[in-house]
Structure 1
Amino acid sequence: MRPTRFAAILTTLVFAGALAACAPAPTDASGSGSNASGDAGAGSAADAAFADRMAAALTQWRASPSTGPFAFEIPGTALAASLGDGEVVATASGEGAPDTALAPDDTFHIGSMTKLFTAALIMQLDEEGVLSLDDTIDAWLPAAPNGGTITVRMLLQHESGLAELNFDNVGKVEPQALIDEVFTETPVFDPGTEYEYLNAGYIMLGRIAELAAEDPYDVQVDTRFIEPLKLTSTYLDGAGSGAEAVDGFVLTCDAGEGADCAGQFGTVEAQSASPQWPGAWSAGSMVSSARDQAVWIRALVDGDVVDDAHLAEMLELTPNSEEFYAATYDAAKVPPVQLGEGAGLATWDVPGVGHCHGHAGAIPGSNGIAAYCPEVDLAVVILNAIEPAGLTPGYPGLTSLTAGTLGALEAMGAE
């Protein structure tokens, strides 16, 4: 498996070795802001109660990457959640930038969590007959190797077999130029025969949506999702506008940064502006808050965004992805958590909660996840101000914080 950026896939299942850090001491905040869902905003009594109940768990989570005598601490984490038809509550712990406390409604670069907007857009266009998931991509991208065999569905499911982006050019050239460069590379497997997480595929889906609907990608996402759901802190970096995202932090070491530092000594440093923030586009350029993402993930997985047939397609795990993740966990000799991926949505088996569906994302300065757990009717979003975050980059904080979040909300509802 090749490393990816602004991605949700597991670059390593467990960080081995000792990671030394220069992270700030834990602090907690329950800040102020507005609730995108229209319920009680940050600073409400519910937010305060949630912050109080989750403070210790967040502090423990942020210290969780400790290995031996050295500690790699997550500098800051924002957490938002909702249970049933209750309001979205949010809290935060730590810093979003050096010497700057993180507030619950601060915005983040959310990386591959953007892909859910792209997948939902394609599903709506299929529902409307603007395109078909069975269309081959040569209809819009005639230079694609195997373009007459690769379908839109294969791009959604990471089964195209095409090469990955040249990340050195992300943010330096337009999306079409990134795509054209991929098309000069030899495919890595025959279409439909394997699963390999591919950021390039979701850049292609963004272009296909533009060409098929004859409307810019960001405009379609705004009018179909952001405006109807009142996601007031969400926009596409480089196209939209809104509250500036926190810069966050990065783990650096002799081998590089982020996941390159697995098993090595490293230091936590302030993240500088990255060209990937606007350059990742339909694969990873969204800016959002934890509270907005809680509204979005519940609406999507609970069936308010696409029809039942398309939601089922997004959720149904592909055999290739199931085989891939089973083999990955087996090789690492750790219990499986991510079970696979469908046409846009991943599924995790979360202890004490059940199956949860959503997407994670990593991009310079941020690593997070948004998930909805239908068995308990819980939406949970965890945004961390660092890349990587925690011992499991593929689902940062999900197994550590979700059961406690559910317990906190249940206790609040019983009061």
Structure 2
Amino acid sequence: MLPVRAVAAIILVAEGDAVLVERDQTTEGSWVKGVGIADPGTGAQMAPGMHTRIGSVTKTFTGTVILQLAEDGLLSLDDTIGAYVTGIPNGDEITLRQLANMTSGVASYTASERFVDLYLEDPNMFFSPEDLVAYAVENSPLFEPGSEFDCSNTNTILLGMVIEKVTGQPVETALRTMIFEPLGLENTIWPGRQTAIPAPYARGISLQGYDATPEAPLDATNWNPASLWTAGEIISDVDDLLTYGRALATGHGLLEAKLQEQRLRSFQGPADYGLALRCTDGWVGHTGELPGYTTVVYYNTQTDTTVAIQTNSDIPSGDCGEAEVLPSNPHGIACSLPAMRIFNAVAPLLGGTAAP
């Protein structure tokens, strides 16, 4: 178990495509800062360049590869998932577009009590994509395709299976050759079955787990990431997230202008969720949360500003009702996860408010 003081964060703010010249101060249009303790065992401080798991920001990588394959004519966003994966309820109606914008009606496997029990009993257990989909099918469909919104990890798992079927390659190969390498993301990693995070890294603390208490949260650093696969498995650092966040929102180096414009016009409903992307008050990007870590990557389309935030805790704070929080929990603020709380404090200073 880890002491509460392990909570820490890395924050990076940049205008345009400025290159970081110095750390911990404003320079060349950028500012980056690490605060808190990354590893209570060694006392190492949180610092830029440390790796963390980025959770659901991975969804944007998966969605981008799907759009690239559509751009190359290898698939259509209006193809049904049934053409690629069998056994999905309403699979002959659900389109890849609906999987990407979270309107498919396929339940998230994380809502399955069977999955949650197995995962929390043994966080190092390996789950295949097929295993994850099977847990989701038990509770599907939630609604008719296209009629409602539900942020389901299963949607992005299915898109990962489509990528492998269309390319004939492991999904990590597609991610590396289509995104990591073209953008020069040298510190962005697909861990596969490897549970360890490359050094330097921040240890992640969590209250998810049967033995966790607010006084003694669990060390989730090396929990098996295969339970998230294409919905949340990627590891990265703050500089790579800066590069990727701007490319994701502008399309530069990733998508042709026409398809990027379509992506940026896809936001709909109260969730403002589009093709594996969210837009909130002019901020385009995504958030990520998994045991031990939270992440924010957002780009402001009006000010050409990118914000990337990594934390080594997934524990919410504020007025969180019955949710478990740390003993030092502040009151009188809205309940939020660590990276999102920081972003909501920073965003008004940079051209808008947001509540991702």
Measured against aligned partners, the alpha-carbon deviations of 1:228-255 in whole angstroms (never above 9, x if no partner) come to 211111111226884464222124799x
CA distance in 2, matches of 1:253, 1:271: 10
Specify the alignment match of 1:279 in structure 2.
227
Contact 1:245 1:287 in 2 (8 A): no
- 1:172 Cα offset (Å): 2.3
Structure 1 length-normalised TM: 0.68
Matched, 1:83 2:15: yes
Q: How does 1:175-186 map to 2 (within 5 A)?
A: 175-186=129-140
| Unmatched segments (≥5 aa) in structure 2 | 21-29, 120-124, 318-334, 352-356
- 1:114 Cα offset (Å): 0.5
Specify the alignment match of 1:261 in structure 2.
none
Measured against aligned partners, the alpha-carbon deviations of 1:178-203 in whole angstroms (never above 9, x if no partner) come to 21332343311111100000001101
User: What letter corresponds to residue 313 of structure 1 in structure 2?
Assistant: Q
CA distance in 1, matches of 2:136, 2:251: 34
| Change in CA separation of 1:357 and 1:140 when aligned onto 2, cut-off 3 Å | same
| Change in CA separation of 1:405 and 1:251 when aligned onto 2, cut-off 3 Å | farther
CA distance in 2, matches of 1:146, 1:302: 34
Specify the alignment match of 2:203 in structure 1.
247
Specify the alignment match of 1:402 in structure 2.
347
- 1:75 Cα offset (Å): 1.6
- 1:296 Cα offset (Å): 0.3
Aligned Cα root-mean-square deviation (Å): 2.7
Q: How does 1:63-78 map to 2 (within 5 A)?
A: 75-78=7-10
Q: Which of 150, 174, 182 pairs up with 1:196?
A: 150
Contact 2:193 2:224 in 1 (8 A): no
Q: Give identity over the alignment, percent.
A: 27
Matched, 1:306 2:262: no
- 1:288 Cα offset (Å): 0.3
With 107-116 and 240-249 compared, the bigger mean Cα shift is at 240-249
CA distance in 2, matches of 1:367, 1:104: 15
CA distance in 2, matches of 1:253, 1:276: 14
| Change in CA separation of 1:164 and 1:401 when aligned onto 2, cut-off 3 Å | same
Q: Which of 344, 357, 372 pairs up with 2:299?
A: 372
Figure out how many residues of one structure are paired with residues of the other and give that number: 308
- 1:95 Cα offset (Å): 1.3
CA distance in 2, matches of 1:346, 1:193: 18
CA distance in 1, matches of 2:308, 2:52: 12
Q: Which of 23, 41, 49 pairs up with 2:4?
A: 23
Structure 2 length-normalised TM: 0.79
| Change in CA separation of 1:23 and 1:275 when aligned onto 2, cut-off 3 Å | closer
Specify the alignment match of 2:56 in structure 1.
112
Measured against aligned partners, the alpha-carbon deviations of 1:270-302 in whole angstroms (never above 9, x if no partner) come to 523454523311000000011110100101212
Contact 1:290 1:382 in 2 (8 A): yes
- Larger relative contact order (Cα-Cα within 8 Å, sequence gap ≥ 6): 1
Q: Which of 139, 159, 170 pairs up with 1:205?
A: 159
| Change in CA separation of 1:195 and 1:92 when aligned onto 2, cut-off 3 Å | same
Contact 1:159 1:194 in 2 (8 A): yes
| Change in CA separation of 1:164 and 1:154 when aligned onto 2, cut-off 3 Å | same
CA distance in 1, matches of 2:228, 2:347: 28
CA distance in 2, matches of 1:252, 1:207: 28
| Change in CA separation of 1:200 and 1:397 when aligned onto 2, cut-off 3 Å | same
| Unmatched segments (≥5 aa) in structure 1 | 1-20, 25-73, 258-264, 326-339, 350-354, 407-415
